[in-house]
């Protein structure tokens, strides 16, 4: 059969018990078998009872439920071997103190799970047996007679009633049994080979009873089978969930045990953002050695990339890793070389750094017959040159810094506050197609331009930034959020589209980082707080299908449940904000939980896919889960999730940041490493393959953040510098 049994009536009470027998058949590790499910995903109420196979001979019982605030929670038992025999399961909800419910699960008379919780409203959805309501997570095995009680029944009471079950069933005998036990509401019994339910008294249950449909019984491999691509999208109905390990983190005796603990952390805590893990003191030395070795692997990845770039594309804008060639799509400004300078320095690759700086000094010019983005030129070229100069104090970089500054000034004029969006390098003429410029394009200037003013002594850079900041202070907002699209001519917003993804992301990032870099004041702090409060009210939602928090978009008054990989800068920026504003932030712990919950979502946007890589964006569907659209299914080697993991490590020292980063790094190595360097990946969920393209932010940001994340030693003093949106290093103004 394609799904479990629809019991057809609701069954959800403060006081109740459900008793049944189960017989588990072999399934791949990590498969969830749903026993009971009555969750209402629209109204966010109800419960689900499941068994999850975590390892051979290790099964855990899991109860998922909604609380009174409509938040999803999950509690799990310790592992137990439930295979190759019939097991009696008794699920009970009973009244506890302070208007709470005690949820418990007993297996063969042993209490495996017991927790006092705050449950929400009872679900009015029909109860499903053997799968979710939409047929997912089907029970692989057999289920025996099921008894439903409207009070908390004991194992002893249930056994007495089961002893009176008539065999074979007869209607008069069943009615008599119901009349003798007022709390017994109804029961399900086997009735012919076509039904899902079967008798636990059978001598050979697998031979004599009908099977409940199983989850796909594919053999686990390093790359799972691709999901079907239908209606121009992939559907990921469920995200990986693992039970917590048997021992607490303090009892982990090795780094390997700690990694297992972190990989199987409590889903409810991760989804709610309440997780916080402290590295056990006896393991600090071993953990440090482990991740320092992994940092060296990242350095080897940078060497591999740089060897390919040096051989096939040195001095050119971008490497083409499959054809082992290059392209100059940025006007031949050595974009990858400039964007990579500080990564080479931080990793101690001084020979490579010196050779690259010599190229900049001898050959770099901004005179190509090409039009470039003012925004990208500023964050990649200006930021890259300034960062390399601050790290190395190499005066050979100063002429290029001054010339790059002259290019930037071409975007401004005295008649308008906002800069042009494009600059033609050869003629130095600036333009703004259709008079439209995005919030991120003109709102991501302060770090680079103020530092340009400090390094060159030219105050025109600072003046340009201050004019833009003054315009934004006076501009109307929607609960602290700014529209994405503006008119360069009028300096006013021209749409009502609000998002923390592309076209807006780095503006909100720079509100925090500019304050840290020295642009402080009560007005700036208030604007940041208002923006975060508006974000929580307007943009944040929790997906009903999987319980994940995400940041969507608003167009006029319409909410769009789409989240980009670009938006995954947000958790790290929020954590950085709290590190500097914890005393003044409204409800700081709620904001901290929001940041960490979003970071878990970002991690699962990658770790839920077949490749382990994140797509460009996903859509969260309350009914279907995570959707990946056809034109968003590629991975561009973006750094945003890894960036936020770096800030989690820096601000909270949580080892799960490094563990998640290691998982993502392995996915990059597995899918994107090629003989000619590293390559973008065409399809994260289907039969993807490397593509002949790699942008400069891969060495400039992704590998840099991975190295800083894994390295125990603080190579960058975060009290003295800030990292720009392109991960370049700018000193804090004293």
Domain 5-220 has CATH 2.40.50: no
Q: Which CATH number fits domain 271-731: 1.10.10.10, 3.30.70.580, 1.50.10.10, 3.40.50.720?
A: 1.50.10.10
403 is catalytic: no
Domain boundaries, the chain: 5-220, 271-731
Give the pair of three-digit tokens for residue 259: 């990694």
CA distance 411 to 245: 57
3-state class (DSSP) for residue 535 = helix
Query: Does residue 691 register a pLDDT over 80?
Result: yes
CA distance 129 to 34: 8
Query: Does residue 162 register a pLDDT over 90?
Result: no
725 labeled binding residue: yes
278 is catalytic: no
Element (H, E) at 129: strand 128-129
pLDDT at 28: 72
Give the pair of three-digit tokens for residue 327: 């392209």
3-state class (DSSP) for residue 171 = helix
Average of per-residue pLDDT across 367-381: 97
Report the side by side order of strands in the sheet with 5-6. 5-6, 128-129, 32-37, 47-55, 58-66, 72-76
530 is catalytic: no
- How sure is the predictor about 218, in pLDDT bands with cuts at 50, 70 and 90? very low
Q: Which sign, positive or negative, has the C-alpha torsion 560, 561, 565, 570?
A: positive
Average of per-residue pLDDT across 573-584: 84
Give the pair of three-digit tokens for residue 234: 């992939």
Burial (0-12, 13-18, 19+ Cβ within 10 Å), 90: buried
Given 137, 451, 640, 650, the catalytic residue: 640
Given 505, 564, 650, 654, the catalytic residue: 505
Phi, psi of 424 (to 5 degrees): -90, 120
CA distance 342 to 348: 10
What residues have CB less than 8 Å from 540, skipping those under 6 apart?
Answer: 549, 550, 551, 552, 594
The mean pLDDT of the chain is 88
What CA dihedral angle connects 467, 473, 479 and 482, to 10 degrees? -10
Average of per-residue pLDDT across 283-307: 95
Given 106, 317, 451, 616, the catalytic residue: 616
pLDDT greater at residue 734 or residue 612: 612
Neighbour tally for 161: CB within 10 Å: 20
CA distance 675 to 406: 39
- pTM beyond 0.85: the answer is no
Average of per-residue pLDDT across 427-444: 97
**Do 93 and 152 contact (CB within 8 A), yes or no?**
yes
44 is catalytic: no
Give the pair of three-digit tokens for residue 148: 């439903």
Query: Does residue 203 register a pLDDT over 50?
Result: no
pLDDT digits (tens, 9 = 90+) for 611-660: 999 999 999 999 999 999 999 999 999 999 999 999 999 999 999 999 99
């Amino acid at each position: 059969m394609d799904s479990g049994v629809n019991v057809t009536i609701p069954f959800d009470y403060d006081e109740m018990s459900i008793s049944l027998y189960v017989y588990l058949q072999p399934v791949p590790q990590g498969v969830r078998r749903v026993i009971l499910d009555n969750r209402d995903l629209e109204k966010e109420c109800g419960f689900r009872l499941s068994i999850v196979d975590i390892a051979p001979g290790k099964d855990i019982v899991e109860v998922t439920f909604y609380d009174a605030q409509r938040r999803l929670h999950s509690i799990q038992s310790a592992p137990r071997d439930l295979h190759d025999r019939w097991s009696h399961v008794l699920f009970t909800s009973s009244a506890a103190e302070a208007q709470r419910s005690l949820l418990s699960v007993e297996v063969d008379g042993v209490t495996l799970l017991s927790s006092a919780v705050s449950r929400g409203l009872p679900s009015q959805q029909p109860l499903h047996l053997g799968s979710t309501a939409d047929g997912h997570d089907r029970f692989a095995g057999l289920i025996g007679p099921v008894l439903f009680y409207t009070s908390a029944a004991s194992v002893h009471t249930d056994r007495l009633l089961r002893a009176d079950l008539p065999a074979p069933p007869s209607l008069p005998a069943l009615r008599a049994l119901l009349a003798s036990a007022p709390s017994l509401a109804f029961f399900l019994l086997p009735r012919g080979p076509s039904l899902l339910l079967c008798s636990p008294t059978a001598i050979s249950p697998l031979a004599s009873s009908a099977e409940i449909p199983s989850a796909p019984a594919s053999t686990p491999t390093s790359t799972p089978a691709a999901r079907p691509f239908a209606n121009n999208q992939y559907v990921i109905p469920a995200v990986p969930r693992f039970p917590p390990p048997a021992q607490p983190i303090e009892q982990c005796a090795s780094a390997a045990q700690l990694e297992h603990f972190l990989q199987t952390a409590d889903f409810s805590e991760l989804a709610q953002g309440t997780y916080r893990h402290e590295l056990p003191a006896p393991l600090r030395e071993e953990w440090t050695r482990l991740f320092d070795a992994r940092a060296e692997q990242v350095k080897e990845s940078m060497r591999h990339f740089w060897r390919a770039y040096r051989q096939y594309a040195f001095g050119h804008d971008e490497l083409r890793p499959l054809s082992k060639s290059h392209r100059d799509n940025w006007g031949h400004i050595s974009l990858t070389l400039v964007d990579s300078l500080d990564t080479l320095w931080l990793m101690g690759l001084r020979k490579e750094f010196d050779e690259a700086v010599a190229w900049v000094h001898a050959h770099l010019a901004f005179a190509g017959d090409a039009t470039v983005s003012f925004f990208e030129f500023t964050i990649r070229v200006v930021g890259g040159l300034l960062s390399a100069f601050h790290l190395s104090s190499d005066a050979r970089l100063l002429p290029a810094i001054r010339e790059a500054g002259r290019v930037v000034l071409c975007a401004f004029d005295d008649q308008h506050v906002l800069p042009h969006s494009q600059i033609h390098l050869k003629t130095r003429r600036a333009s703004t197609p259709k008079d439209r410029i995005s919030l991120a394009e003109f709102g991501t200037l302060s770090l680079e331009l103020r530092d340009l003013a400090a390094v060159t002594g030219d105050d025109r850079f600072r003046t340009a930034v201050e004019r833009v900041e003054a315009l934004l202070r006076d501009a109307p907002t929607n609960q602290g959020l700014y529209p994405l699209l503006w008119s360069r001519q009028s300096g006013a917003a021209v749409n009502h589209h609000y998002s923390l993804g592309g076209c807006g992301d780095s503006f909100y990032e720079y509100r925090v980082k500019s304050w840290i870099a020295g642009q402080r004041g009560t007005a700036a702090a208030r604007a940041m707080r208002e923006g975060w409060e508006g974000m929580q009210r307007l943009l944040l939602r929790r997906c009903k299908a999987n319980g994940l928090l995400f940041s969507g978009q608003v167009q006029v008054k319409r909410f769009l449940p789409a989240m980009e990989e670009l938006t995954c800068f947000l958790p790290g920026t929020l954590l950085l904000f709290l590190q500097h504003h914890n005393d003044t932030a409204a409800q700081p712990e709620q904001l901290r939980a929001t940041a960490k919950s979003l970071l878990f979502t970002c991690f699962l946007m990658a770790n839920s896919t077949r490749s382990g890589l994140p797509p460009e964006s996903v859509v969260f569907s309350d009914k279907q889960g995570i959707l990946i659209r056809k034109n968003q299914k590629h991975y561009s080697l973006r750094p945003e999730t890894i960036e936020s993991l770096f800030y989690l490590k820096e601000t909270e020292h949580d080892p799960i940041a490094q563990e998640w980063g290691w998982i993502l790094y392995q996915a990059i190595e597995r899918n994107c490493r090629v003989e000619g360097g590293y390559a973008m990946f065409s399809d994260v969920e289907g039969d993807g393959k490397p593509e002949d393209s790699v942008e400069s932010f891969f060495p400039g940001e992704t590998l840099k953040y991975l190295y800083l994340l894994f390295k125990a030693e603080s190579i960058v003093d975060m009290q003295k510098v800030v990292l720009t949106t392109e991960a370049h290093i700018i000193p804090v103004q004293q």
